[in-house]
Structure formats: C-alpha cells, structure tokens
Amino acid sequence: MTPLDHAGARELVERAQAVIDAALRELARRGGVDANQSLAYDVAHAASAIATARSCLSYAAHGEVEANLVAAFLALALSDLATRVLGREALWAAPPDWYEPFAHFVTTYRDPGFVATLAESPGPRHLGDDFDMVSATFHRFALEQVRPHAEHVHRANSDIPESIIEGLSELGGFGLSIPEQFGGFASGGESEYLGMVVATEELSWGGLGIGGSLITRPEIMTRALLHGGTLEQKQRWLPRLANGEVLAAIAVTEPDFGSDVAGINTTATKSDGGWLVNGTKTWCTFAARAEVLVLLARTDPDRASAHRGLSLFLVEKPRGDSHGFVFDQAHGGRLEGRPIDTLGYRGMHSYELSFVDWLVDDANLVGEENGLGRGFYYQMAGFENGRIQTAARAVGVMQAAYEAALDYASSRVVFGSPILEYELTRVKLGTMAAIIQCARQFSLDVARLMGAGGGAMEASMAKAYVCRAAEWVTREAMQIHGGMGYAEEYPVSRYFVDARVLSIFEGADETLCLKVIARRLLGDVTS
C-alpha cells in the first residue's frame, strides 16, 4: 500500500473545500438556505465531514497506523461528497471534471484490501499524560460502576443507581467545567474543555443513559451561569453543582417548539417576590431526580420580541418519583411531571412538565435584572457546550459498539472460520475504526478551540457529523452479531437504539445543519 502523501492529502482537503465553497455561492445565488433546503443540508454535512478530515491531518503525522486511519477516513469523506454531488452538479455549480483530482486517492484508500487491514487497528489517542490519566480514571469507573448496571436499567427502564451518581461526584465528574474558584477543576486555557470531552467519551462507553449523559445537564447549567449569572448566583450554585449536591435538568423544548426556541410559549410573569411560571415543557430529561430546572420562559408578552423576550430561570424543586410527580406550593402553584417512554436512552427518563403559577424567586432569574431578555443567549452558551459533549457521547457509544463487534467477530465461527477472517467483516470494522478515531480527534480539536474562546461553529459540525456516523457504526456492529445482535443477550442492540437519539437532541440534525451550519458557512463565503 502506498504511504499517505501528507501534503497531497492536505491539498485534497482544500480542493474539497473549494467544491463546497462553490456550492455555497450557488446556494446564495439561488436564494439562500430556506429556498434550497436539500442543497443546504447536503453542503452542511459534506462540510462537516471535510472539517473532520482536516482536523485529523496532524494526527496522521504520528505514525503509519494513524496515517492509514486518516487516509481511509478522507477517502470516505470524499466519496460521500461525490455521492451528494452526483446528479446535482448544477446545484453544486460543479464542473464536469470536478471529481478528477480525487479519483486516484479514493480508489487507493477505499480499496477493500486496504480498509480490511484496519479492522484491528483502532489507533492510539495521543491525549498526553494528563488526559491519559483522566481517560483511565473514567474508563475504570465506567467499567466497574456503570457497565454492571447499564443493561438492567435499559431493559427494565429503571432509574440510575444512586451509587453511580455518588461515585461520579466523588470523582469530580460534575465539576469538570466549573472554575477552581467555585469548587470545580477548570483552570481556563486550551485544556478547559478537554477533560469534559475525554470523561464524557469514557462514561458513554460504559452506558449512554446512565453514564455519559449524567454530566451533560450540569455542564449546560454551568456554562449558562458563567456566561450570564451574577457573582452571587455563581457562588450559590456552582459549588453545589461541582460536588453533586444539586443535579440539574434543562426545560427548554415545548410541544410545539423544539429547535425553534424563539417561539416558545411558556411565560414568566412578575409577581410579588418573584415570577409566576405557566406553560408546558417537554423532553425534559432527568426532571424527576433533578433539584433544579434550567427553564427558558417568555418574560416579554410582546411575541414580536421573539428570542429577545426570553429569560432564563433556575427553578428549584424537590426530587420526584420517576414514574411521575406532582408538587404543590403553599400559594397554589403546581408543577406536574409525566414520563415519556422511549425506545432507548433509558435511566434518566424524559418528562412533559406542566407549570401552573409556579413561583420562582427573583434571585433565580439568571443575571437578575440584567438578565431580562438575555435568556436565549445564556441558554445558547450552554448548548454550545452540550453539542461538543454530545459528539463525545457519540464517540463513546461507537467505541463500545466497535469493541463488541470485534470481540464477537473473533469468536463467532461460520462455515468453519471466525467471521473476523471474512473480508466484508474486516472492511466494516476497518471503516468503523477510521470513523471513530477521526471523530474523536475532531472532538478533541474542537474542545481546544472552545478553550481558546472559539469553536462554536465547529462544535455544531462535530455533532452533525459524529451523531449520524454513530447510527451507521452501531447498526453495522449489530449486523456483525447477526441474529444475536437483534436479541437482548448482547448489549450491541442497546448501543444501536441509544445512538439513534444522538442526532435528535441538543439540536436536531436538520435544524442544526440548516439554521446553524449552512447559514454560518454561507455568511463566511459571501461576506
């Protein structure tokens, strides 16, 4: 096999970007995103895959295994680009010979004989000593504390064991992004987000619903407070989040408004000593167990104010029964939670919440008086963090699925040979290895960017690419198991149904691609 030409690979990435940029200019000429949603969606996903490949070029320099994984991934990304352009050349403003510069590379590194060699070569992560230690610590916790419970919680739709919450608190898992001055472990700088990403991957490897997602909601609340909270609010809430005394849930989505946050109907009306909340929220995960809800509500009754009329509240509540709960306040306020059954991602439970004159103290308006009308921006600051964390969750689930498939393929004998010896199995596993490692490296790069004060756009791109990739990886891992993959005897079926939620929450895939990625890319190209 021809060794990877690193300079040539970098040139191909830039050529691919030029194809994408031409499509973006054509998108602008045709009237923009809303008038050309299919093109915008395809461009956003293609751009996310190429951005992933670009971020991995430095990883390829570490050695032959790393270079081979990146070569396979880049060939896959270029092939995906070709699939999106084929038959839509006019939409992409692509000349007839646009694919010619990529043809030899894709032919070389998508060759089944080459991809098959990667089946058992997932590659080192190159985290560095400090983050190798973080990885090992959370991996051990996931192995010893999360995995023994994951399958039972999934099948019985039961609750996260308190032992996991307590253990994660002792490890400092809830304080990874909280500054040291408030009892956490974040010291600022490039590495501030890395620990969270590394820990999230390992916890998700143990179990998505009862591991990797446990720290997501505290992370979102932390970022919202750091972005908009008063000093008193930070001093009151962040230490309690860091030590696990308080667990949070996020109440933003409504029955008629998901990703379209600016249109929400839940209101908060000023009253004596606080705000009266009225309305319905849905898909509020972990709402029963949480002691505080991060709630986005309309404080300006003029709906024309859209997102500028929203404010963010910290709604305190008692712990509730996971099968449903009702709480009453002395003045007559009521909060009711109804669980929503899901096919996967179990343990945390999601709820529809009904608020009737639920009183929230003035002190719990994030930013207090200065926070009025700023809630959308505070919430988005939290969601940016949630998106890169979701990408890390996807990597953890993919890693678990790949390892399960490799193990099963090694022991399962069909027609006299382990199925690992069959080319098709090895090509599937090799493709998984390349996708997982490059997705991981992109997530780590985005974490570094966010630590330097940027990375919001890249976090959206990472989530868009990695979460869709997780669906393919877990599906093929289940397929390698054959009939046993469809049975509940092996955890791979859980990985498959868990992965399906990743491209829905923290920004649905379509909305993320159209409203965030495509619009931002369009602005960059046309400005």
506 tagged catalytic: yes
Q: Name the residue with higher pLDDT: 259 or 181.
A: 181
Q: Could you read off the pLDDT of 487-525 as tens digits, one per residue?
A: 888 999 999 999 999 998 777 899 899 999 999 999 888
- Tell me the residue type at 330: A
Q: Could you read off the pLDDT of 173-206 as tens digits, one per residue?
A: 998 888 999 988 887 777 788 999 999 999 999 9
User: Which pLDDT belongs to residue 248?
Assistant: 95
User: Which pLDDT belongs to residue 463?
Assistant: 95
DSSP 386-438: HHHHHHHHHHHHHHHHHHHHHHHHHH-EETTEEGGGSHHHHHHHHHHHHHHHH
The region of weakest confidence among 230-234, 302-306, 461-465 is: 302-306
Which one is catalytic: 192, 202, 384, 506? 506
Q: How far is CA 343 from CA 157, 324, 401, 437, in A?
A: 10, 18, 18, 28
Q: What tokens were used for 17?
A: 């970007």
User: Which pLDDT belongs to residue 257?
Assistant: 67
Domain range list for the chain: 6-110
Mean pLDDT over residues 269-291, rounded? 93
Mean pLDDT over residues 150-157, rounded? 92
Distance of CA 46 to the CA centre of its chain: 18
Q: How far apart are CA 340 and CA 324, in angstroms?
A: 10
Prediction pTM value:
0.94
Q: What is the DSSP letter of 347?
A: S
504-517 burial by CB neighbour count: b if 16+ within 10 A, else e? ebbbebbebbbbbb
User: Which pLDDT belongs to residue 189?
Assistant: 76
Q: Could you read off the pLDDT of 46-57 as tens digits, one per residue?
A: 999 999 999 999
Angle between helices 162-171 and 129-141 (to 10 degrees): 160
Ramachandran angles phi, psi of 225, nearest 5°: -65, -45
- Is pLDDT above 60 for 258? no
Mean of all residue pLDDT scores within the chain? 93
The pLDDT confidence band at residue 262, using thresholds 50, 70 and 90, is low
